[in-house]
Amino acid sequence: MLCEGVGVRATEWLAGVHRDTVLAVLEAAGQKCSRLLDQRVRNIPFRYVEVDELFCFVHCKEAQNVEHRRNIGTQYVYLSIDPQSKFIINFTVGKRDSVTTQQFMQDLKKRVQPAFQLTTDGFEAYQTEVYFTFQNSLDYAQVIKQYANPEEEENAPERRYSPSECIGMRVKVVCGDPLHDKISTSFVERTNLTVRLFNRRFTRLTLGYSKKLENLKHSVALLIAHFNFCRVHSAHGKTPAMAAGLADHVWTIDELLTAR
């Protein structure tokens, strides 16, 4: 149920167990999936990698985070995917700043073999952290979108969860010689939609948001492992792990939680 977008309390009612039991299962499964992803996704020869961030919040909105604690308020989930197999390579949860960006890029370096092509959005921290992590050993470009956002509309309610109309886009080659027809963040942005669809904690304007950062990390790990190994993708009729050569069949939930 947790892999299909059902909330903790709804799972409690449907399964007939206490919500503390649901959270205990989430913690155990999330830790298992984190170890699985960490151990199995190492030095994989992905040729193209797309990166993007997904917004959510923990415990409260950032405006109520008066002590500026890093474990509550606005949080972002950094995702990287292989656009060909649709495999989610790695993730990092934290603030959208240079600290989290550095952690994410250093983790990505462990997952993918060198000399791949990387595409990110225009977030300024990427350039610095990609340089210090990879030292110009890859082909790297940014997709920078331009939005129509008049000052009088910045505080309008409808702008809180969606950007203004995209009026243009430009490509910035940062290093290397990337193929221009592969410079895109469209596939990883579509993956963001999948995360919001199948994880209740990302459904906007509800009470399903995470109350603890640890539970958010567990739920993301569970969703990504299930997406990679158990869910058949419509793009190629296989699980992303099968398309990436990391599995030879569609895994069951039992296999996902018992695999060594």
Give all domains of the chain, ordered by start, each with its CATH number: 2-258 (3.30.420.10)
pLDDT value of position 148: 79
Question: How does pLDDT run across 125-178, given as a tens digit for each residue?
Answer: 999 999 999 998 999 999 998 877 655 445 554 445 666 777 888 999 999 999
pLDDT value of position 181: 95
Q: What is the DSSP letter of 141?
A: E
pLDDT value of position 166: 79
User: To the nearest whole percent, how much of the chain has pLDDT over 70?
Assistant: 94
Closest CA to 100 of 82, 118, 75, 63: 75
Give the global pTM.
Answer: 0.93
Closest CA to 175 of 224, 120, 102, 215: 120
109 vs 92, 119, 171, CA distance in Å?
13, 14, 23
Is residue 30 helix, strand or coil?
A: helix
Q: What is the DSSP letter of 121?
A: -
Those residues whose C-beta lies under 8 Å from the C-beta of residue 177, and which sit 6 or more positions away, are 139
pLDDT value of position 150: 56
Q: Which residues of the chain have a pLDDT value below 50? A: 152-153, 157-159
pLDDT value of position 151: 53
CA distance 178 to 41: 24
